[in-house]
Amino acid sequence: MSIDLCPRPHDGAGVWRRVATPQRILRTLATTLIGLSTASLTHGAYDGPSVSPRLFFTDLQSGPGRGGQDDLGAFVTIWGEGFGATRGASSVTIGGVEVGRYVAWGEDNALARGMDMIVVQPGPSAVSGNIVVTINGLASNPLPFTVRDGHIYYVNPQAASASDSNPGTYELPFRSIYRPRQVVQAGDIVYLQGGTYSTIDPSNPGWDTLLIFDMDVAATGTSERPIAYVGYPGQRPVLGNPAARRGILLMTSEPPRDHYVIANVAFTQSMDPMPVIGTGHRIVGNHFYDGARGDGGAIGVNGNTSAIRILGNLLERNGTAGDKLNHGIYLGGFGVNRDIEVGWNEVRQQRGGRAVQLFGHIDGDRMEDVRIHDNLFAGSELNNLVLGGSDGATEVLGSVEVVNNIIAGAGDPGLRVEDSQGTVVIRHNTFFQNGTPGFDGRAQLALQRAGAGRITLQNNIFVAGAGQGDVMFGAGVDSSVFATASHNLVHGVSACAAWNGNCVRADPLFVNAGAGDYRLQPASPARDVAAAASPASDHRGLARPQGAGADIGAFEYVEFDTARFQALSDCLFNWAESHYATLFAPAGAASATWDVYYYRYYASQMAYLGSATADGQVYYMAPATGGVATSVGSLSGWLAVAGCVAR
């Protein structure tokens, strides 16, 4: 999307219309005007200058501040919201010390969910402490990071200098993806600089795997010193071969490798791309697509596993239509799966089976302390989520939380619970039009099997499409399964169920459900009426409550601070007039508002300078830009440059 502010005689209101913006003009303007990088032309929701940035997670939680490229240490990727499209004078600190280099800064630039993403190198001055991002003078929540020693290696098969006899530095990288295993020890990091890897691992070809980490060929990590294999920023490597059973394998025989980080890698074509077994693994920011046609899932957690983090991955178009054993994220038992976090992922168009399934296989399988939160699950052929069921004779679920998720467009009920012993909390999710065609029911939530007093169902939105329902019960199951069931909003059904206390039956007034935007409009009946027992933050990391009470559903409505937005925009406009008088004259032009724009018109140059409440961008338009309004960066990036907020 781009915007054209057509120059014409100024009529006091301005006439702004939308047209296509050539990238050539965008680049030229950014260089000519002020010299900052240009913003993305696709912008996410902008909450205004009074809302702090929110940090969700990082790929690495520890790493060197020295060594590696330019002796600035590891690349640390930070995911969150509210970063702005351009950095400007915004900052990242670790332990109170500004990072050594900003490698990437963006808005909606992450693979999954349209999250924002920053990549930094700590630098030699970094100390252990909290990562904090400061924008508009507002500091984010902290995320911990430990600065420690460790080697950093590079694999770059395209480099003319690449050789497996090299030391594996940035300047003299390894050529083969298998060479680092011979030197990597706990605490080391390997960066894969692009490339497509399709060869079956020669260390053990009988496993039909592209890359094996097992006791015979690879070191194991520790909680303080994990081993990381990470795609180099902007050069995501691809692991793919339709003849491969697996992409990466962490065990061929006991004991498994522990504490590995696999991040920013693309997996395609292989049957079971990422089986996970062991302790302390982080599977972060990867892309799984057009594969996973086996029965182990695109990401499969099996065996005795614990402290597993599956964060910020994009899974799309995996599986085979009609094969119900094909799943996205699969917890499969064969032991105890404990302390498993599935957060901030996006799983869409899952063919055959489910986006997420928890299912046991043998007697004694157990899934305990599983937290499924802040994900987007959409368009699975069957359910988006299934919790429970086993080929063994024992129930598998312990405690499971399903919180702050978007669950939309599944062919069966969006979420199905099938376990009489599990304690399941379902809170602050948004369910939208699940259950068509409805092979096993046409509802948003199916409680197929559940024990008395085992289910908490609170503060969810259920929107049913034609012929769909909100909640359905299996044979012999009734409302006695609820420990609490209240403050849920339902729409598209004839009435609130008697068991649904403080139920709201009304259109939730989403911003644009057809485009997948389930945020609330100002007049939404879901606002301020949720039960008090709410997660501290919503799907986008915004604190609950924002108003008199928390909102029902995954999103908290944020009141836009128009007065502060205009005051800060005026400060920026005044600064621009002072520093670029030849572009913005006469100084002191009156500010005006039209639609989502707050702007000034400069008659001498027939130029406009404005900011937009819709996307938080600063726009400039003049005859020199071809009459096209061009983003010159985010307002948040400019305010500290202009001295309008503290750095």
542-587 pLDDT per residue, tens: 999 999 999 999 999 999 999 999 999 999 999 999 999 999 999 9
**Mean residue pLDDT across the chain:** 92
pLDDT over threshold 80, residue 263: yes
Return all residues near 306 (Cβ < 8 A) that are at least 6 apart.
279, 280, 336, 337, 338, 339
**pLDDT (mean) for 18-26:** 32
Give per-residue pLDDT as tens, 206-218.
999 999 999 999 9
- What pLDDT sits at residue 533? 75
**pLDDT (mean) for 293-305:** 96
Distance CA 102, CA 86 (A): 11
Distance CA 301, CA 461 (A): 30
Give per-residue pLDDT as tens, 444-468.
999 999 999 999 999 999 999 999 9
- What pLDDT sits at residue 592? 97
Structural contact between residues 425 and 395, judged by C-beta atoms closer than 8 angstroms = no
Domains of the chain with bracketed CATH: 1-50+601-647 (no CATH), 54-140 (2.60.40), 152-194+202-270 (no CATH)
Give per-residue pLDDT as tens, 330-352.
999 999 999 999 999 999 999 99
Give per-residue pLDDT as tens, 148-175.
999 999 999 999 999 999 999 999 999 9
Return contacts of 642-646, CB within 8 angstroms, 24+ apart.
642/571, 642/572, 642/575, 642/576, 643/571, 643/575, 644/568, 644/571, 644/572, 644/575, 645/136, 645/137, 645/138, 645/568, 646/137
Residue 25: band (very low, low, confident or very high) from pLDDT cuts 50, 70, 90? very low
| Ramachandran region, residue 204 (left: φ > 0; alpha: ψ -120 to 50; beta: rest) | beta
Which run of H or of E encompasses 491?
Answer: strand 489-491
- What pLDDT sits at residue 3? 27
List the end-to-end C-alpha distance of the chain, in Å, as a whole number.
30
Give per-residue pLDDT as tens, 397-445.
999 999 999 999 999 999 999 999 999 999 999 999 999 999 999 999 9
Residue 646: band (very low, low, confident or very high) from pLDDT cuts 50, 70, 90? confident
CA angle 340, 535, 465 (to 5 degrees): 90
Structural contact between residues 464 and 492, judged by C-beta atoms closer than 8 angstroms = yes
Residue 155, φ and ψ in degrees, nearest 5? -120, 125
String of DSSP letters for 397-450: B-EEEEES-EEE--SS-SEEEEESS-EEEEES-EEES--SS-TT-SEEEEEEEE
Structural contact between residues 405 and 363, judged by C-beta atoms closer than 8 angstroms = no
String of DSSP letters for 286-337: -EEES---SSS-SEEE-SSEEEEEEES-EEES-S-TT-TT--SEEE--SSEE
pTM for the predicted model, two decimal places: 0.92
State yes or no: cis peptide before 586, omega within 30 of 0. Answer: yes
Looking at the chain, the number of H-run helices and the number of E-run strands are: 3, 51
pLDDT over threshold 70, residue 93: yes
String of DSSP letters for 109-176: -SSSTT-EEEEEE--TT--SEEEEEEETTEEPPPEEEEE----EEEE-TT-TT--TTS---SSS-BS-
CA angle 388, 57, 131 (to 5 degrees): 155
What type of residue sits at position 5?
Answer: L
Answer with the residue of higher pLDDT: 21 or 560: 560
pLDDT over threshold 50, residue 2: no
Residue 610, φ and ψ in degrees, nearest 5? -150, 170
pLDDT over threshold 90, residue 24: no
* Residue found by looking up tokens 């836009």 in the block: 560
Question: How far is Cα of residue 149 from the mean position of the Cα atoms in its chain?
Answer: 29
Distance CA 225, CA 311 (A): 19
Distance CA 518, CA 165 (A): 53
pLDDT over threshold 50, residue 525: yes
- What pLDDT sits at residue 37? 29
**pLDDT (mean) for 490-496:** 97
Secondary structure of residue 28 in the 3-state scheme:
helix
What type of residue sits at position 43?
Answer: H
Residue 253: band (very low, low, confident or very high) from pLDDT cuts 50, 70, 90? confident
Answer with the residue of higher pLDDT: 129 or 34: 129
What pairing do the DSSP bridges indicate for beta strands 246-249 and 209-212? parallel
* Residue found by looking up tokens 């053990």 in the block: 204
pLDDT over threshold 70, residue 44: no
- What pLDDT sits at residue 534? 78
**pLDDT (mean) for 73-93:** 95
* Residue found by looking up tokens 């605490």 in the block: 187
Answer with the residue of higher pLDDT: 534 or 259: 259
